[in-house]
Amino acid sequence: MEIVDSHAHVYPCITGKRNEMLCTGEWYGKLRRGARGAWRPEGKRGLIQFAPPSFHPNYVSPEMLLGYMEWAGVNRAVLLQAPMYGNHNEFLADVARAYPQKFVSFGLADPRDGDKGTQDLDYIKNIGHVAVKLEVPDQPFWVDDEKYYPFWEKIQELDLVCGIDLGWDPAANPYNFQLDRLEKVIRRFPRITYVIMHLGVSYLTDIKQSYPFPVLQSTLALAQYPKVWFELSGLQEFCEDEKPPRNDYPFPRAQEIVRATVEKVGAQRMIWGTDFPGILTYCTYPQTLNLIRHYCDFLSDKDKELILGKNALEVYRFK
């Protein structure tokens, strides 16, 4: 079975924004958040532990990721970007070209840039990216606004995969979780392949939500559209506010989220990923894989083959 980590990050530095707040990578895996806005519900600013302290300086090379992949038995990976990290279009394109049998990559473009944003889509396609990432709260825009139709049309024309991050904390940003608006976009631009990152988050950080996770069910209803896929990265982060053992490996709440997803949409629409390196503050890299491979007993061997690699190979068109 070929295994693909469909959500990993490598970067030369962190210099970007989240929720209008400057983010800067610091020493020993820390991230400095600026003075404006709020990232997490408690609204804390300053330094947070974004990656393990061994990440010193806060730089992640492709060779480091390859080492983790070899350790866990992961064959390939999809390299993503986000506004928080800064724009690393050229860096990631170079990495994917250097390791064509191991990596494919996402580009970053901003629809709010008008004609330039649309032209940036041509650019990221030309330098080799297979997909574009839209992190809606960090690029705050109403996704179904007609003024952005040329942007969506260009994604469709270029046959770029579109990864959508709908946001983590609805209280922090009014642009979070635009599910109804996104469905309008999917209807209007049906030839785009959409990947819903982190299961749309879908209020899963709210521990009061339990199986079958009613908000998640509304997100999974997008499975009625044949080109929508659901990505499982960062599941361990949905367990962090619970007391042991539910917030510790092998993360029973995360298993319940996977079970609710496969029951609704089927394994043929699910894609596994880690969210490396930030996920390493919750568990080891092999544990992110073993959660699916060894602890989700309700998944058949065929399900695991699809979720852990075969679906990603299809969606991201690895060579």
Range scoring the smallest mean pLDDT among 49-58, 181-190, 251-260, 265-274: 49-58
What is the average pLDDT score of the chain? 92
CATH number at residue 237: 3.20.20.140
Please give the residue range of the domain that contains residue 298: 4-12+60-316
Q: What is the count of structural domains for the chain?
A: 1
In a domain? residue 29? no
The answer to whether residue 155 is domain-embedded is yes
Digit-coded pLDDT (tens) for 35-73: 544 444 334 457 888 899 998 878 899 999 999 999 999
Phi-psi region of 4 (alpha: psi -120 to 50; beta: other; left: phi over 0): beta
In angstroms, rounded to a whole number, what is the distance separating the alpha carbons of residues 144 and 124? 23
Does the residue 19 lie in any domain?
no
Q: What are the start-end ranges of the E strands in the chain?
A: 4-8, 15-18, 21-25, 30-33, 46-49, 76-79, 103-108, 131-135, 161-165, 194-196, 228-231, 270-271
What is the pTM assigned to this prediction? 0.93
Half-sphere exposure of 100 (CA within 13 A, CB side): 3
pLDDT at 220: 98
> What number is the average pLDDT over the span 259-281?
97
Q: Does 147 reside within a domain?
A: yes
Task: For 85-107, write each residue's pLDDT tens digit.
Answer: 999 999 999 999 999 999 999 99
Q: Is residue 44 situated within a structural domain? A: no
Q: Which two tokens stand for residue 98?
A: 């250097």
Q: Which helix (H) or strand (E) holds 118?
A: helix 115-126
* Residue 280 lies inside a defined structural domain of this protein: yes
Provide the Cα torsion 84, 90, 93, 99; round to 10°.
-100
CA distance 189 to 183: 10
Q: pLDDT, tens digit, for every residue of 193-248?
A: 999 999 999 999 998 899 999 999 999 999 999 999 999 999 999 987 777 776 88
Residue 17 lies in a domain: no
* pLDDT for 21 beyond 80: no
In a domain, 241, yes or no: yes
277: left (phi > 0), else alpha (psi -120 to 50), else beta? alpha
Reading the block at residue 238, the tokens are: 């949905």
Check residue 42 and give its pLDDT: 39
